[in-house]
Copies of this chain bind each other. A is one copy, B any other.
Amino acid sequence: MGEFELIERYFKRPARNDSRTVLGLGDDCALLAPAPGMQLAISSDMLVEGRHFLSTVDPARLGHKALAVNLSDLAACGARPLAFTLALALPRADATWLSGFSAGLFALADSHQIELVGGDTTQGPLNICITVLGEVPGTGTQHQALLRGGAHAGDDIYVSGNLGDARLALAVFRGNLSLTTALFELARTRMEQPTPRVALGLALRGVASAAIDVSDGLLGDLGHLLRASQVGAVIETPLASGLLAAAAHPDWAAQGIGTPAQLDYVLAGGDDYELVFTAPAAAAAAVQQAALVSATPVTRIGRVRAAAGIQLLDAQGHELQCNLASFDHFKS
């Protein structure tokens, strides 16, 4: 199968009628027509086998995830997705893999009503690079994008969904933990098919003071937000809920099923693709309204303080010692 046949068979689809795409796949460039009063939001993410996904992953889930992690960046900016490009390096043109991958990719694209407008396909070690384009209301330097730098001392800190689920699944894959099949399947889906919080990001425009998505772990990503805002934070633990809370339940231990390093997974597990954001205390009701309209669970986890750094408090309000340096995933 040649490159052109591959594109034709797996990636070319009828143009949408409801998009802003003047010209999609098939020429040297795509053309997008932003609506009047809109600015373009752009983000690129690259996924490499072994680092961002396991070689055993279902290709449909991988197609979903490759787009989801990019949409998560748009969500963190409060941008509405418009279109995306896909550059794909493949060791070989495998029909089963391609048909699964494109099905997963387009299922998520369709649910956000966005179109694949361009890209590249080449032979090489498996590598998936997606660039997403979205729109945010704005004129000149005035815009409604949610940035990292807008948090103020006294703001509340919130997180969407549950943190640590993806890390829980990874621990099982690595053989460091056992879970019941049902619990593992739920955790695995959270790792392999994260839900980009696009609807929440849109609902938080004009409500949140700052936002970022959690890809590398809560402490690391919240740290970026706090440094950009020149503030610090107090985080109240325990944060665990959902799968992690279930996995940590004493019953599992009693049955000889391992319990995860709960706090580590929540604080620094990564691969969560939840939003962590700040909002003034006066906006608390508006935050709950945003959670409601976007059908996204949102939990208050602490507050912004003027002093730099992140202070962790346990359930009794005592300070937890936590070596933040250990949460830099990128040190080589």
Determine how close the nearest CB of chain B comes to the CB of A120; give it in whole angstroms: 5
The answer to whether the Cβ of A332 comes within 8 Å of any Cβ in the partner chain is: yes
A83 to B42 Cα, complex, angstroms:
10
A40 to B28 Cα, complex, angstroms:
13
A124 to B120 Cα, complex, angstroms:
19
| Contact across chains for A48 and B330 when beta carbons are under 8 A apart | no
| Contact across chains for B22 and A138 when beta carbons are under 8 A apart | yes
A119 to B331 Cα, complex, angstroms:
19
Which of A84-92, A177-185, A260-268, A293-301 contacts its partner? Answer: A84-92
A30 to B228 Cα, complex, angstroms:
15
- List chain B residues, Cβ under 8 A from A51: 122-124
Q: For chain A residues 123-151, which have a beta carbon within 8 Å of chain B?
A: 123-125, 127, 129, 131, 133-134, 136, 138-141, 143, 145, 147-149
| Contact across chains for A41 and B29 when beta carbons are under 8 A apart | yes
- List chain B residues, Cβ under 8 A from A117: 42
| Contact across chains for B42 and A129 when beta carbons are under 8 A apart | no
The answer to whether the Cβ of A161 comes within 8 Å of any Cβ in the partner chain is: no
The answer to whether the Cβ of A110 comes within 8 Å of any Cβ in the partner chain is: no
Which of A70-78, A166-174, A248-256, A303-311 contacts its partner? Answer: A70-78
Determine how close the nearest CB of chain B comes to the CB of A17; give it in whole angstroms: 12
The answer to whether the Cβ of A108 comes within 8 Å of any Cβ in the partner chain is: no
A124 to B46 Cα, complex, angstroms:
10
Determine how close the nearest CB of chain B comes to the CB of A38; give it in whole angstroms: 9
| Contact across chains for A29 and B42 when beta carbons are under 8 A apart | yes
A89 to B52 Cα, complex, angstroms:
12
| Contact across chains for A147 and B23 when beta carbons are under 8 A apart | yes
| Contact across chains for B2 and A331 when beta carbons are under 8 A apart | yes
A138 to B32 Cα, complex, angstroms:
10
| Contact across chains for B2 and A30 when beta carbons are under 8 A apart | no
**Given the interface contacts A23-B145, A33-B39, A44-B131, does A28 sit within 8 Å of B212 by beta carbon?**
yes
Q: For chain A residues 23-61, which have a beta carbon within 8 Å of chain B?
A: 23, 26-34, 39-46, 48-52
The 9 closest A-B pairs by CB, nearest first: A48-B124, A129-B129, A3-B330, A2-B330, A46-B87, A28-B76, A125-B125, A29-B41, A131-B131
